[in-house]
């Protein structure tokens, strides 16, 4: 047991009992307990398998390569449409965890088998992401913008594409694009300071 996880659980404002129960279940599966990304993380041979995290409405187990699990019970959730590999099992009550304990253990053991087999998730290439129509129009108006955008690293391109396309309304997408044109033109990524 990792003392940093003890502290995390002690300081948790919500889902304390649920997360303690999830921890106990995971430890019964023989994984190594670590503390990464400010959350309890459980590994097998230094590979991340599952993470415990909490949100306002629920706590969850996040399987790092959850997309590779069979999900025989149909309980894995893709957190957002842009999450490629990870999948969650969400809980809103300790009784759900008690009921699903055998299933949770089976999913953990399956995730360990994924690691033993050396399986990896095929991640989408930047070229496979849809370019928002508003960005295409901006490229048509400014060929220098298009050149600068495609000169960015694939990771920077992907970050912009995700950010621009997440806006539901056209005017928001246009506004976001216009805001970042100067940064794109000088080769800066959306997260560069």
Domains of the chain and CATH, by start? 3-116 (3.90.1150.200), 126-185 (no CATH)
Say if residue 88 is exposed, middle or buried (CB neighbours under 10 Å; 0-12, 13-18, 19+): buried
| Residues contacting residue 162 through CB under 8 Å, at least 6 positions apart | 82, 129
Q: What pLDDT is stored for residue 184 in this prediction?
A: 96
pTM: 0.73
Higher pLDDT, 112 or 1: 112
Q: What is the mean pLDDT of the chain?
A: 94
Q: What pLDDT is stored for residue 84 in this prediction?
A: 83
Pairwise CA distance, residues 15 & 12, whole Å: 7
pLDDT level of residue 155 (50, 70, 90 thresholds): confident
Q: At what angle do helices 170-185 and 143-151 cross, to 10 degrees?
A: 70
Share of the chain above pLDDT 70, in %: 100
Q: What pLDDT is stored for residue 83 in this prediction?
A: 81
Pairwise CA distance, residues 104 & 26, whole Å: 9
Whether 39 shows a pLDDT value over 90: the answer reads yes
Q: What pLDDT is stored for residue 127 in this prediction?
A: 81
| CA–CA distances in Å: residue 2 to residues 23, 36, 42 | 11, 11, 10
Question: Tens digit of pLDDT for each residue in 111-146?
Answer: 999 999 999 988 888 888 889 999 999 999 999 999
Pairwise CA distance, residues 157 & 135, whole Å: 12
pLDDT level of residue 28 (50, 70, 90 thresholds): very high
């Amino acid at each position: 047991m990792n003392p940093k996880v003890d502290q995390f659980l002690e300081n948790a404002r919500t889902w304390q009992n649920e997360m303690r129960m999830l921890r106990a279940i995971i430890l019964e599966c023989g994984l190594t307990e670590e503390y990464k990304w400010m959350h309890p993380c459980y590994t097998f041979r230094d590979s991340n398998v599952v993470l415990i995290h909490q949100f306002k409405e629920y706590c969850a187990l996040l399987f790092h390569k959850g997309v590779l699990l069979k999900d025989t019970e149909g309980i894995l959730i893709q957190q957002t449409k842009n999450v490629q590999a990870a999948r969650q099992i969400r809980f809103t009550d300790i009784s759900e965890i008690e009921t699903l304990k055998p299933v949770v253990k089976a999913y953990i053991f399956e995730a360990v088998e994924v690691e033993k087999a050396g399986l990896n998730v095929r991640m989408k290439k930047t070229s496979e992401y849809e370019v928002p129509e508003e960005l295409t129009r901006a490229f048509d108006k400014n060929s220098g913008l298009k050149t600068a955008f495609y000169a960015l690293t694939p990771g920077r391109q992907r970050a912009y594409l995700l950010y621009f396309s997440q806006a539901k309304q056209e005017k928001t997408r246009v506004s976001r694009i216009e805001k970042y044109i100067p940064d794109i033109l000088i080769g800066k990524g959306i997260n560069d300071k």
